[in-house]
Amino acid sequence: MSSSLGNQVGQLARRSILRTLRQPAQIVPAIVFPLFLLAVNTGGLKEATNLPGFPTDSYLTFILAVPFIQGALFSVMNSGTDLARDIETGFLNRLALTPLRGAALLSGLLAGAFVLGVVQAAAYLAVGLIAGAELAAGPAGALVLVLLSVAITVAFGTIGLFAALRFGSGEAVQGLFPVFFVFLFLSAMTLPLDLLTTDWFHAIASVNPVTYLLEAIRSLLIEGWNLGDLALGFGIAAAIGALGMLAASSALKSRLVRT
């Protein structure tokens, strides 16, 4: 009487998605906040395009990459907080008493992040294009952009799952937010890597994986098809996702000591 892995993932995915959609307080800020920063930064930093070597005339096009990463940060918080709540309320124990597989639990939980990722990416892209951003890679590029964005969102989501399983509290997960913030701010977020003139800042940004995620998104918006940048972006997302999943599985094992 044991259900298949696919069925289990499906059931948990359904729950995770329902739960995400029923918490507008999670979705709305995750969409609105990055768009607000987009507007502010576009207005405030327009002059940066006059710097010699700036890759585009449109600062909006350049900075449009940022909301995708910020949206992914919200996914860490959301997936992590949801799972932490399951641990705190004992819901995880309820699930543990069913013939549920660990892999199904983790994948199912990421389904919420996946859906949120699609909604966010579509919203950012739509608003960006309406406001006049360029998309050099064309309609197919839009598809790849959404895909990349979802890959990043899900990859970051695994870190949220890990934190929830490792620490077991929503507060600990929320405590991660500043850490991710640091990663975002110490990257080539507002200017391209070459124009980061402060040496130490340049050094940090050039080893910060977020810089390359941004560059992969920017390549589609500004250049068109730069396979090297795209491969690096997808590769980093996959690596973060794989590491996060590995860490989360191991944390799940110690959290769920069921025999």
Partner 1 sequence: MTTETQRSGGIEVESLVREFKNGPRAVDGIDLEVARGEIYGFLGPNGAGKSTTVLMLTTLLPPTSGSARVGGFDVVEQGPQVRASIGAALQEAALDPLLTGREHMRLQTALHGLGKAERESRGNELLERVGLAHAADRKVGGYSGGMKRRLDLALALAHRPRILFLDEPTTGLDIQSRTALWEEVARLAAEDGVTVFLTTQYLEEADALANRVGIIDHGHLVAEGTPAELKAEIGRPTVEAAPREEGDRERMTAVLGRFGQGAGSSPRGVAVRLDGGESQLAEVVRALDAEGIAIEHLQLHAPSLDDVFLAKTGRSLEGAAEEEPADAETETAAPA
Partner 2 sequence: MSEQRTAGVRAVARGVAWRSIHNFLTNPAFLVPSLLFPLFFFVSFAGGLAAIGEVPGFDFPSGYTAFQFVFVLLQSAAFGGVFTGFAMARDFESGFGRRYMLAASHRSGIVLGYALAALFRAFVTWTVLSAVAVVAGMEIAGSGGEIVALYALAVLVNVAATMWAAGVALRVRSIQGGPLMQFPTFLVLFLAPVYVPLDLLSGWIHTIASINPVTALLEAGRGFISGDPVLAAAAFAIGLTLSLLFAAWARGGLRSAEAAG
What contacts 170, CB < 8 A, 6 or more positions away? 80, 81, 84, 85, 88, 164
Proportion of the chain in helix, strand, coil states, percent, rounded to 5? 80, 0, 20
- Contacting residue, 1, 24, 50, 257, with partner 2 by CB under 8 A: 50
Evaluate whether 153 touches 72 at the Cβ level (below 8 Å): yes
47 binds partner 2 (CB under 8 A): yes
Which tokens go with 241?
């996702």
Maximum pairwise Cα distance, the chain: 67
238 binds partner 1 (CB under 8 A): no
Q: Which of residues 93-112 bind partner 1 (CB under 8 A)?
A: 93-100
State the minimum distance, in angstroms, from the CB of residue 183 to partner 2.
11
Evaluate whether 153 touches 116 at the Cβ level (below 8 Å): yes
State the minimum distance, in angstroms, from the CB of residue 93 to partner 1.
6
Q: Is the CB of 181 or the CB of 250 nearer to partner 2?
A: 181
Q: Is the CB of 6 or the CB of 43 nearer to partner 1?
A: 6
Q: Is the CB of 39 or the CB of 243 nearer to partner 2?
A: 39
Q: Work out the number of other CB atoms within 10 angstroms of the CB of residue 146.
A: 18
- Contacting residue, 186, 243, 247, 256, with partner 2 by CB under 8 A: 186
State the minimum distance, in angstroms, from the CB of residue 185 to partner 1.
33
Angle at 47 between CA 203 and CA 74, to 5 degrees: 60
Q: Which of residues 69-88 bind partner 1 (CB under 8 A)?
A: 86
- Contacting residue, 83, 111, 155, 196, with partner 2 by CB under 8 A: 196
Report DSSP state, residue 226: -
231 binds partner 2 (CB under 8 A): no
8 binds partner 1 (CB under 8 A): yes
What contacts 94, CB < 8 A, 6 or more positions away? none
Residues binding partner 1 (CB under 8 A): 1-3, 7-8, 11-12, 14-15, 18-19, 22-23, 86, 89-100, 256-259
